[in-house]
Structure 1
């Protein structure tokens, strides 16, 4: 037998030869070792790209594998909704504009007009600040502005200028006008935002709605007539007819001591005001308001709306619409007893942070989205990584949504959410068969999952849920909340940055929209959102990719939470949406994005107030190079 140990001879230190069989064995051992290492690295990176950093994975050629992975493992309706959302978003990003000729062409194609003068400066700022410009992101602007093309431009300009609270731009400088003593600092916040764009804006006025609630609901027939006038006049003028400079507001400014124009402000049943703004053939148009709220709320049975897919919201925009959901008149505080109400059926220019789909205000980013107040944003901290989070759901807030009192509190949306997340209440319902004050258990035939079948949702929630009111806001104040305390009690508040330590964060309406939604989106947690209020950002967020949508009656709440917590696949899905939403929000919900939205909106509003509006436009991209 050969000795394979090294030995020395007179030629020097040389190893003796190793047998061929031993060499082949060592080679295979080395190959196997590297194969194992390569496999482990592959698995590690697959996990990282799929679930830890989904934004980078999806944008760098992983789309086909994503769809294969999700479809191969799809055994739940939410699996399909997530896959569809991803595909929709990928197609949306293909419409991004990177240069002014492309952006202007897409504008003309979608709007049927030339862009407004100043469009080039707007786009230049967008490019310099890494904004994602997709034309459909701005659809809300054109839906809001369209009816004003049917009104006299000078009348609109005069009414905008004379309002009590106005952000006014003159000669490239923005100022807020109006008495704000004792009021929240919304006017200053909006003024500061507009001031950043003011050097490139024409003279323009932005009148502000200072109420939480929306104020304008024009009847369907009237608003349809105004929109048809706009559509009939819409055209892309020959370049030789186009005017490229705004006329200005000298005529408006010449009117000294102009008093605000106030239409007739109405009160009474807000549902009655709402339903006349619905189409004549819509389900809610001829449904009368509820007269008695002292009985327990009722929920629609066999509820299969067109906006849902197998019990889960698919079309989030449609899910907001009260015109298709007459039951909301008894399940949302806006239609039960708003805290304040001052509504007109006349169209006047008024800008605000949210509105119902039937309202006619012009939307701008909510002032609370541009404040530094950590109450709304959570401050600089947006939560720990997903693996370090508490496996639970958290909610804190006040019992807002309208004036809740003994006769009606059972019908309010926030009370319903908190009672549904109360493990003791739900366990009692499962064990004894009684119903709660604010809700019914979701139907088994529609939401059939293990915890529902085994009647263990309540015991699960007792450990999983941390939800409660920090203030019951009862009416009248001297009632001491006696009517609600047997069912709900006040709990200690939790700062927003501490709430971000939980995986799941439901978000529902208060007196109007929830001002915490942007903070939730930018956190490392998963927002679960239900609302009847439209906002400026709706066209740039994709449900089931950036947040989890929920129906306004909340009957899908338990099933949504069950899907995300039942197994490892659900947890990865939740993490995927949370991280994708945070990454996307950091790109399209920045202050720069809000500025660009308002900037473009004011270019359009200045045009609709201009006596030469039919021929006013930007055409530099169509002119031959000099």
Structure 2
């Protein structure tokens, strides 16, 4: 937590140092060794009019787009046309012409709301954009997995290309109406994707590339977690989901075990996605799910007519419980038991079904009863966990989804099912665990906005990840979940008996939990608003408009002398 506070102070200086257009241009030039795109002055005015806090830190955009600078503009446009013209790809387009965005006609009906939501975001600034066509991933899963060698080659080429001059954008040609059947994408749905796709994005000497033997789901790979951990606790969120040092992740998330919809390519293609797994080269953009309030933080009290009361009480008045509700939507378990490795199912098992068997033991960092102000890792039977006073309410809702064969009944028997709960009921509880599914988490932003403390275990990363500091704005949890109980115990406290039968009571760190919950709440109101989504997307599309312009080497905003 101390390190997180220092990191936050450094981020404040890096993200928001510019106080004028002149300073913003010079900051851009210093960081990216190039001129900003045309329209940067309009973007800056747009951002400042919305009281945006983050004006200088857009490294995610720079890194996402860097490989595309090695591809000629005409080829980028042609690739966009090709991938949106084949319905099998499950990628649909948005066209921007003369300052107006529209959804192309070939979008799947079930996903039309998503692209209409994207258009709604773009409408707030579309009059300032050049003409362009954009290809949006309709699936949750990531799509573009370049080998590490290929990506490095592209980046080396890209860094030799600079942007100059003050020319205006060129015109675009329209996408042909005729559908195509050509595709560069391969269908790996229902297959283990780790070694063929995630591992290939890593260096040849990485553990992921060298170790092709499957890891057992029942044994903890301690050295796999060591690079990003402090004991059981997740210390480095930036690399916590990186597959390169963690070959055991092949069996610990549904995206790798058996994704429901995985159509990917090792070739660079301009695909915009709501989230992506580390190593993938999709272009991130703010999801319409959050912008369109598909899931919203909206606590209610007794004065709200015709609705049950779900107030967001002060942290100290909430139930001392870790809460989660969700579906088995992380991946498909088609009859071979893949569900046993999926993160969501493992959390439910850990919360409800731990036994006294050896494979269900739990190791906790506990106060050392012999030495004051000291802690020691202690292993106990899983069946003894609840006796320590740790409380959880973690369940699968309604029915088992994305299953086949015996896996349907086995999951229902093992995990148990409960009825749906009003989303606003979350605010009753102190600790809210967030688990991504097949892609990004739709509920994490509402969790941050609340007075509860979010725990987050996630493979996928989103446009805003660099804006949030773990252990300051939320509590990170390793995908292996081996530190979950120690993390909850640290904040919640415990009670028990020592070896001599003497009772002990550990009060935990409620003040720290409250501080993180409030810090995340306040910060999200500054940097994760709908206005921040608009500003991020506006800057992203100005950069993309330049990249796809035939005169891009001549395009750049420069200050008048």
TM-score tier after normalising by the smaller chain length: 0.7 to 0.9
Q: TM-score, normalised by structure 2?
A: 0.86
Residues 1:577 and 2:516 aligned together: yes
Displacement over 4 Å in runs of 4+: 254-261, 443-457, 460-463, 474-480
Q: How many Å separate the matches in 2 of 1:453 and 1:266?
A: 43
1:562-605 superposed Cα distances (whole Å, 9 cap, x missing partner): 11112556101011000110110011111110011111000011
Using the TM superposition, give the Cα deviation of residue 541 of structure 1 relative to its aligned residue in structure 2, in angstroms.
Answer: 0.7
Using the TM superposition, give the Cα deviation of residue 161 of structure 1 relative to its aligned residue in structure 2, in angstroms.
Answer: 4.3
1:476-507 superposed Cα distances (whole Å, 9 cap, x missing partner): 55758332344210012222210121010111
Compared CA separation, residues 547 and 218, structure 1 to 2 (3 A): same
In structure 1, the partner of 2:3 is 84
Whether contact under 8 Å (1:172, 1:198) holds in the other structure is yes
Structure with the larger strand share:
2
In structure 1, the partner of 2:23 is 102
Compared CA separation, residues 234 and 313, structure 1 to 2 (3 A): farther
Count of aligned residue pairs for this structure pair: 519
Instruction: Mark the structure with the bigger radius of gyration.
Output: 1
In structure 2, the partner of 1:233 is 161
In structure 1, the partner of 2:46 is 125
Q: How many Å separate the matches in 2 of 1:378 and 1:371?
A: 12
Say which of 146, 149, 169 aligns to 1:221: 149
In structure 1, the partner of 2:12 is 93
1:92-491 alignment, distance < 5 Å: 92-95=11-14, 96=16, 97-136=18-57, 138-161=58-81, 163-164=84-85, 165-177=92-104, 178-183=106-111, 185-234=113-162, 237=164, 242-249=165-172, 252-253=173-174, 257=178, 259=180, 262-267=183-188, 269-271=192-194, 272-288=196-212, 290=214, 297-301=218-222, 305-373=226-294, 376-379=295-298, 383-404=312-333, 405-422=335-352, 425-426=353-354, 428-429=355-356, 433-436=357-360, 441-442=362-363, 452=378, 458-460=385-387, 464-473=391-400, 476=403, 479=406, 481-491=408-418
Where in structure 2 are there 5+ consecutive unaligned residues? Answer: 86-91, 301-310, 369-373, 494-505
Q: How many Å separate the matches in 1 of 2:273 and 2:516?
A: 29
Secondary structure at the counterpart of residue 140 of structure 1: helix
In structure 2, the partner of 1:77 is none
Q: How many Å separate the matches in 2 of 1:133 and 1:407?
A: 45
In structure 2, the partner of 1:64 is none
Whether contact under 8 Å (1:218, 1:345) holds in the other structure is yes
1:88-120 superposed Cα distances (whole Å, 9 cap, x missing partner): 212221231221111111111111100001111
1:119-144 superposed Cα distances (whole Å, 9 cap, x missing partner): 111111111111012422x1111111
Whether contact under 8 Å (2:47, 2:55) holds in the other structure is no
Using the TM superposition, give the Cα deviation of residue 324 of structure 1 relative to its aligned residue in structure 2, in angstroms.
Answer: 1.3
In structure 1, the partner of 2:529 is 590
In structure 1, the partner of 2:498 is none
Residues 1:616 and 2:555 aligned together: yes
Q: How many Å separate the matches in 2 of 1:121 and 1:232?
A: 28
Whether contact under 8 Å (1:397, 1:471) holds in the other structure is no
Whether contact under 8 Å (1:507, 1:527) holds in the other structure is yes
Q: How many Å separate the matches in 2 of 1:495 and 1:396?
A: 10
Secondary structure at the counterpart of residue 79 of structure 2: helix
Using the TM superposition, give the Cα deviation of residue 260 of structure 1 relative to its aligned residue in structure 2, in angstroms.
Answer: 7.9
In structure 1, the partner of 2:303 is none
Q: How many Å separate the matches in 2 of 1:508 and 1:490?
A: 17
1:511-538 superposed Cα distances (whole Å, 9 cap, x missing partner): 1222111111111111111111111001
Compared CA separation, residues 464 and 362, structure 1 to 2 (3 A): same
Q: TM-score, normalised by structure 1?
A: 0.78
Compared CA separation, residues 461 and 331, structure 1 to 2 (3 A): farther
In structure 2, the partner of 1:3 is none
Compared CA separation, residues 167 and 260, structure 1 to 2 (3 A): farther
Q: How many Å separate the matches in 2 of 1:188 and 1:475?
A: 27
1:535-554 superposed Cα distances (whole Å, 9 cap, x missing partner): 10011111111100111101
Secondary structure at the counterpart of residue 347 of structure 2: helix
Using the TM superposition, give the Cα deviation of residue 418 of structure 1 relative to its aligned residue in structure 2, in angstroms.
Answer: 1.0
User: Aligned Cα RMSD in Å?
Assistant: 2.6
